[in-house]
Amino acid sequence: MQNQNWRFLRFTFHRSTLIAMLAFAVLGCACAGLANAQAKNVGGVTVFHVQNPEENVDFVNAKPMPLPSNPLSPDTTRALIQALESKQTVGASGGSSGAEGTGITSPEFLGKPAPASEIAPQDWGTSNHPFTTVRADLFTENTNKTYPYRPAGKLFFKIGSSTYICSASLIKPGIVVVAAHCVANYGASQFYSGWQFIPAYRNGTAPYAKWSAVNAYILTAYYNGTDSCAVYGVVCPDDVAVLVLKATSLGHLPGTTTGWFGYWYGGGFTSGGLFQITQLGYPAGLDNAAYMERNDSYGYMNSSFSNNTIIGSNMNGGSSGGPWVENFGLPSGLTGETNGSFPQQNVVVGVTSWGYTDLSVKEQGAAPFTSGNIGALVTVACTNYPGNC
């Protein structure tokens, strides 16, 4: 597909085109009515109970979820100056710690992914934003089964009869955080279905098995389209969702083995609103989404873009929902040294939400984690499913 056509597809996917596609592919069957019937609003959070957690998804021919595209021109100078001049406020601060898990694995082969045909190349960046995007592997080690990489994974799900992929991560033993646009169609009051989370996915293999979601939670403002987005349905303050995973018959959950990330809201930035982010995901434009990719970049918070954080990145379709982690890696033992102002290790502070329509910009954005979105979502999910937390 030519770059121009792909940009148009990415820009329109979460607007009228996606609605039209769903009307043709989904609304013609009973599943659309069922999805709406099973969605309930509880105190500003909309929960969707999955009727068929074991729904078949196509692990081989899954399509990358088009990354929602921001059509606005990047403000490469003023946005950074703004971030440096004034501290951004996103409300109360809080979160929880992660855990590394046992690491024991029994791989299951799901099928090697077919080549992606709908990803345009991204060869350079015009944003003046430094970053490094590489495969997560080291030269002598496949890091997907090493903590803190293994809580991240690939998410398969259904839109109508087609299977799509996003990226996601564990933030509790049985709770996954992902972008809301991988869970529901913004403003259409329509959930997708059949979510299957594969932690540490690697080239068709599920080293820690596959896990079905039984409940999905997003903010009602995102579900019904009243979120205060800088760009409708794309650059939003609440593009965040959590999925509750189904435990095994023995009560096992993936986080016991893989471990899980912590999460944090209302913190992790300097007084000038700057972050240092490690981004993980499975973009189809890199290694055909067969391997986990890692990106490292500084980020800045832009109040003109719904307080979204913006980083430099070479990731694309399929990376949506992947974790943005602070203080990633094995913490050092302190010898004659003290921690900085944000010592929390391996905490997710956002998930991949959007990229620019202009593929040469090489930047991506993430909705801010706040007490009102991730805090509320985790609270409701853990109240209803305490065993998963």
Instruction: Return the CATH number at 226.
Output: 2.40.10.120
pLDDT for residue 154: 98
pTM across the whole model: 0.80
CA gap 248, 228 in Å, rounded = 39
Structure token digits, residue 99 = 């855990």
Which residue has 């590489």 as its token pair? 134
Structure token digits, residue 160 = 């109508």
pLDDT for residue 127: 65
Q: Which of 241, 220, 223, 253 minimizes the C-alpha distance to 177?
A: 241
Residue 371 has φ and ψ, to the nearest 5°, of -65, -25
Q: Which of 219, 161, 164 minimizes the C-alpha distance to 381?
A: 219
pLDDT for residue 333: 87
Which residues of the chain are under the pLDDT cut of 70? Answer: 1-37, 75-91, 93-96, 98-100, 108-110, 116-127
Q: Which of 332, 362, 348 minimizes the C-alpha distance to 277?
A: 348
Query: pLDDT, tens digit, for every residue of 23-68?
Result: 333 333 334 334 555 788 878 898 889 988 878 899 899 998 888 8
Structure token digits, residue 304 = 């003109």
Which residue has 């100056």 as its token pair? 81
Cβ(320)–Cβ(280) below 8 Å: no
Cβ(68)–Cβ(13) below 8 Å: yes
Q: Which of 170, 225, 165, 216 minimizes the C-alpha distance to 191?
A: 216
Phi-psi region of 34 (alpha: psi -120 to 50; beta: other; left: phi over 0): alpha
Residue 19 structural domain: 3-332+340-388
Neighbour tally for 22: CB within 10 Å: 18
Query: How many domains would you assign to the chain?
Result: 1
Q: Which of 205, 213, 280 minimizes the C-alpha distance to 242?
A: 213
Side chain identity at 323, as an amino acid letter?
A: P
pLDDT for residue 117: 55
CA gap 281, 276 in Å, rounded = 17
SS3 readout for the chain: CCHHHHHHHHHHCCCHHHHHHHHHHCCCCHHHHHHHHHEEEECCEEEEECCCCCCCCCCCCCEECCCCEECCCCCCCHHHHHHHHCCCCCCCCEEECCECCCCCCCCEECCCCCCCCCCCCCCCCCCCCCEEEEECCECCECHHHCCCCCCEEEEEEEECCEEEEEEEEEEECCEEEECHHHCEECCCCEECEEEEEEECCECCEECCCCEEEEEEEEEHHHHHCCCCCCECCCECCCCCEEEEECCCCCCCCCHHHHCECEEEECCCCCCCCEEEEEEEECCCCCHHHCCCEEEEEEEEEEHHHCCEEEEECCCCCCCCCCEEEECCCCCCCCCCCCCCCCCCCCEEEEECCEEECCCCCCEEEECCCCHHHHHHHHHHHHHHCHHHC
pLDDT for residue 107: 74
Residues 6+ apart with CB under 8 A from 224: 46, 187, 189
pLDDT for residue 179: 97
pLDDT for residue 219: 97
pLDDT for residue 271: 77
